[in-house]
Amino acid sequence: MAKVFITGSSQGLGLAAGRLLAVQGHEVMLHARNQARADDVHRVLPAAANVLVADVSTVASMRELANQANELGRFDAVIHNVAIGYREKRRIETADGLSQLWAVNVLAPYVLTALMTRPARLVYLSSELHRRVDGNLDDLQWAHRPWHGTRAYSDTKFQDALLAMAVARLWSGTLSNAVEPGWVPTRMGGPGATGDLAAGAVTQAWLATSDDTGARVTGGYFFHRRPARLHPAAGRTDLQDRLVARCAAVSGVDLP
């Protein structure tokens, strides 16, 4: 039995992965943005061992969630599922002066990775949309470009894959991989999505817990338990180091 923490898991893919892991007998810790959502997920998935509460749009709340998680001891795996979508019509700024989209989708996984007791496995949620970006890290906050929600979201999913590859390279004792779940009918994906929600949660659960040879790898990028095409720029160590350095500078948290 593995002990697994899933961020952004009060609904959608995170909850689906939590439900699957709980059915398999694993100890599952979930995460919700606020207490109301935590209460809802407790009712929906009472088998969850705990639901941690934090709105990870600020660095302080990211630190608080890491502290909450560390109080529960070391996890065997952490699935970085937390994200907001591409439907925002304008750039929303956090209390830290950051793009909310970037703070939640990229900085929160980075800070939690850096501050939580290092697990045996890490899984980062990306998207097939990551292959549509140019891989440029010059304007992470979208402060100098006209706002485009889908493109900004795609940028964050590229950076999540980049972070997964960086951790795989820098942490030899941890298996770090990225996943694209497909276009599935979540609140983010919308009712018109053509993918299967249950199938979209399988790969991250598999990478987090399975003893299959295919799951015991690092630096991989997967779709439906098979290796998928990773943006070529995600393998560039200079870009990996640049993203890590920028996240460290913005958050004040160094990656060990």
Q: Helix, strand, coil % (nearest 5) of the chain?
A: 45, 15, 40
Q: In terms of Cα–Cα distance, which of 166, 95, 106 is closest to 130?
A: 106
- Through-space distance between the first and last CA atoms of the chain, rounded to whole angstroms: 27
Q: In the structure encoding, which two tokens stand for residue 150, read together?
A: 């889908």
DSSP H helical segments within 4-146, as ranges?
12-23, 35-44, 59-71, 100-102, 108-115
Annotated catalytic residue, options 3, 86, 157, 221: 157
Is 153 annotated in the active site? yes
Using a 10 angstrom Cβ sphere, with 0-12 exposed, 13-18 middle and 19 or more buried, the burial of residue 149 is middle
Annotated catalytic residue, options 110, 124, 153, 221: 153
Chain position carrying tokens 């990996």? 240
Is 3 annotated in the active site? no
For residue 218, CA distances in Å to 14, 60, 123, 160, 184 come to: 21, 30, 10, 15, 25
| Residues tagged active-site | 153, 157
